[in-house]
Amino acid sequence: MFEREPDSQEPLGEAKLTGFGLHNILSPLVLPAEDAAYISPEVAQGQTENIRSDIYSLGVILYELCTGTLPFHGDSVAELLQQHIHATPMSPALINPHIVPGLTAIILRCLAKEPAARFPTAAALVAAVAKVLNAPTSSRLGQSGTAISGNRLTPRGTSLDAMDDVTYLSPQVSGAFTQLPLTAQTQSGEYTQAPMMTPLPAVSVSNSGHTQMAVSSGQSQGMLSAQPTQQLEGHGASTPDLQPQQAPNLIRAGRRNRSRKKNLAIWASVLLCLLVVGAGLMTFLLLQRQSAAAETLSGHAFFVSSGLIDSNNPNGIVDGLQLDLSHIPAPQAGKSYYAWLLGDNDANVTIPALSLGTLQILNGRVSKSFTSNDNKNLLSRYSRFLVTEEDASMPPANPSLDQNTWRYGAFFSQVPSPEDTQNHYSLLDHLRHLLAQDPKLASVGLSGGLDIWLFRNTLKILEWSGSARDAYRSGDTGLMQRQAVRILDYLDGTQYVQTEKIPANLSPILVDPKIARVALLEVSQSESPPAYLLHIGNHLHEISFAPNVNGDQKKLATEINVAINNVKSWFLGVHDDAAAIIHMSPDQLRKPETLARLNHMFKLANNAFVGETDPATNQVREGVSQIHYKAQQLATFDVMACSASKASKSCI
């Protein structure tokens, strides 16, 4: 609504935002479902809201505008809140592939679990959206008063923290029952811990009794929770770069100026919505002009992740399927289309077909989402997709064996690569090693694919880097060094961390040795299993030359490989900083130069996880979050119409 005041210079009045949720409630669990869909993770945990909580809620609205659906769905308020806290939303680009480039990263940054990773102000968000849309912004934005930057006040005109770059996605915080303190800065510049309410109950627990912890995909999920840390002594969410504390100089303003500053974020939000709606209209017009798809390519089916994972198995990763088809004719009278996932095309494989249900057609298009009831990794068991046309009055328990009923299908090639003379891996093998279960990881007791372990371990590096930096302010030099040792444990692996000549007063292994058995960085060519970055790079190379790989998969493999090289360079910098910290004396650790090193280490760790924008080219240098999303996109079925020839049904 717009409220007109006598002394207002705004012709329309000042924007007042109403009806977007309840405040000062005793528990988030009493929220109605329509409000819980927009609540931020910290508020869902009972913590005090701040301006970045509103940025998160606005991110949900932007997600809905650009995709037509909410990022999270649940049968209860508790389930919705758990997803906000732990799950990573599906990338908007996977739902709407025609979204304006760059807008996906902006939306996912708004939806970051950690408030410090979101935009600091609505003005910064508007500026980022305007930039990707090549749209002008009001000169009033960001020019008056002071800006609240996360949990601190930043004078206008000063450069914002490195966390304010546009490229950040969704760095997650730790496990399902962990209540991370959300710090809020008072006007005197001191940080105080916000009050927290009773932790929410976990929604789902694995049969083994281990808490299912959210990761990401698409939810980190995006998506993922960090692996619980042995003997971890962290301080929760990392604060922004620490500098000598002094109270900001707040300019006293009259009622009119205060009112303008109070409503600046609201005006920015209104402008942002107009920009995004405009982008949506442009996208719609572009879609109308696109030519029809090739005759045989009918669409895609791609795996998605719920983010509800258990560290003891690959569940929660690629445990769902999103189907998008176009130019689909209506079935014959009395018939319906049924979708299925099938096991490998191998006489020795006897996995029953998995029914995905009936397909509903709207204007020649089919859009259907499926999630496994038990969150089992679907790619580990299924490699073929099929649509049959069968009796509508009696849904079949299994797909018809009559190939004349087969209408659409797809498969991942099982043909061994002729260039792989040692392992004879196929495209399907490479996809499973990345996303389901790598046999070399299984040999050392690690369940899951290479991608999820790279994601988890990088997230821990970021967590420990932030904790070490926070320890500088409290003067806990011992914690600084212990967190640096943990970082080296993951970077070098337990096989080679001893080469760092760790001082005698520090234990060389402060993490779960099974998890740190596989290094992130290669130390020796004789490492077994190979380091994660090298191992994933090897699979990407083989995928590029595998039989029946398509152009999109080759392109993705190339992009992921570039990101792998980015992450390696950032990790090498993190390694150098951590190695220097463990050899410092307590007096050296208290010096200002050490804070600069800790800030540098955190920045590189953050880059490794979420990437950064190259200021010289304004291009995104991608990190592990982007690797995680794109690795899942590799497992995309190109759905083809089955041949009309009775003698040749080549679609599966």
CA distances from 458 to 461, 516, 528 (A): 5, 12, 20
pLDDT of residue 207: 38
DSSP calls for 486-554: HHHHHHH-TTTGGGG---TTS-S--S-TTGGGS-SS-S-TT-SSPPHHHHHHHHHHHHHTSTT--HHHH
**Strands, DSSP E only, in 372-445?**
384-391, 406-411
Q: Residue 485's closest CA among 267, 182, 233, 291?
A: 233
Are the C-beta atoms of residues 184 and 48 closer than 8 Å to each other? yes
User: In 76-121, which ranges are continuous DSSP H helix?
Assistant: 77-86, 92-95, 103-110
Rg of the Cα trace of the chain? 26
Instruction: Report how far apart the first and last C-alpha atoms of the chain are (Å, whole number).
Output: 56
CA distances from 41 to 119, 178, 195, 211, 621 (A): 15, 12, 15, 19, 27
Helix axes 122-133, 255-289, angle to 10 degrees: 30
Rounded distance between C-alpha atoms, residue 60 and residue 64, angstroms? 6
| pLDDT at residue 105 in the model | 82
Tokens representing 343?
Answer: 């096991």
Q: In which order are the strands placed within the sheet that holds 354-359?
A: 354-359, 335-342, 384-391, 406-411, 636-641, 297-304, 320-325, 366-371
> In 10 A of CB 481, how many CB atoms?
23
How far apart, in whole angstroms, are the C-alpha atoms of residue 235 and residue 51? 22
In the chain, the largest separation of any two C-alpha atoms, in whole Å, equals: 83
Buried/exposed 82-95: b ≥16 CB within 10 Å, e otherwise: bbbbbbbbbbbbbb
Q: Are 109 and 166 in contact (CB under 8 A)?
A: yes
Query: Would you state the structure tokens that stand for residue 180, as one six-digit string?
Result: 């991370």
Q: Could you tell me which residues come within 8 angstroms of residue 372 by beta carbon, excluding any fewer than 6 positions away?
A: 319, 320, 378
**Phi–psi pair at 230, nearest 5 degrees:** -70, 130
Residues β-bridged to residue 213 = 309
What domains lie within the chain, and their CATH numbers?
Answer: 7-226+267-282 (1.10.510.10), 314-412 (2.60.40), 427-633 (no CATH)
Q: How far apart are CA 346 and CA 331, in angstroms?
A: 30
Q: How many CB atoms are closer than 10 A to CB 580?
A: 14
Say how far apart CA 292 and CA 298 lie, in whole Å.
10
Q: What DSSP letter does each residue of 548-596 carry, written as one string?
A: T--HHHHHHHHHHHHHHHHHHHHHHHHHHHHHHHHT--HHHHTSHHHHH
What single letter denotes the amino acid at residue 116? A
Residue 523 burial (CB < 10 Å; 0-12/13-18/19+)? middle
Q: Taking the model in full, what pTM does it have? A: 0.61
Token output for 264: 């600046």
In the block, tokens 């740190």 appear at 516
The answer to whether the CB of 372 falls within 8 A of the CB of 382 is no
Distances (CA, A) of 122 to 55, 160, 465: 7, 14, 28
Spans in the chain with pLDDT lower than 70: 1-30, 74-75, 94, 97, 101, 137-295, 309-311, 347, 644-650
Q: Which residue(s) pair with 641 in the sheet?
A: 408
Distances (CA, A) of 232 to 105, 177, 294, 470, 510: 31, 15, 54, 14, 8
Strands 366-371 and 320-325: antiparallel
| pLDDT for the residue numbered 422 | 87
Run of H or E including 224: none
CA gap 329, 602 in Å, rounded: 54
Residue ranges of E strands in 150-194: 152-155, 183-185, 191-193
Distance, in Å, from the CA atom of 418 to the CA atom of 421, rounded to the nearest integer, reads: 6
Q: Please check whether residue 437 is in contact with residue 314, taking contact to mean a CB–CB distance below 8 angstroms.
A: yes
pLDDT at 569: 98
pLDDT at 200: 37
Q: Is 286 helix (H, G, I), strand (E, B) or coil?
A: helix
Residue 510: phi and psi, rounded to 5, are: -115, 15
Say how far apart CA 284 and CA 45 lie, in whole Å. 38
Q: Tokens standing for 443?
A: 């040999």
- pLDDT at residue number 280: 52
pLDDT at 104 (0 to 100):
85
Q: How far apart are CA 65 and CA 596, in angstroms?
A: 41
Q: How far is CA 178 from each of CA 28, 40, 45, 151, rounded to the nearest angstrom? A: 17, 16, 10, 21
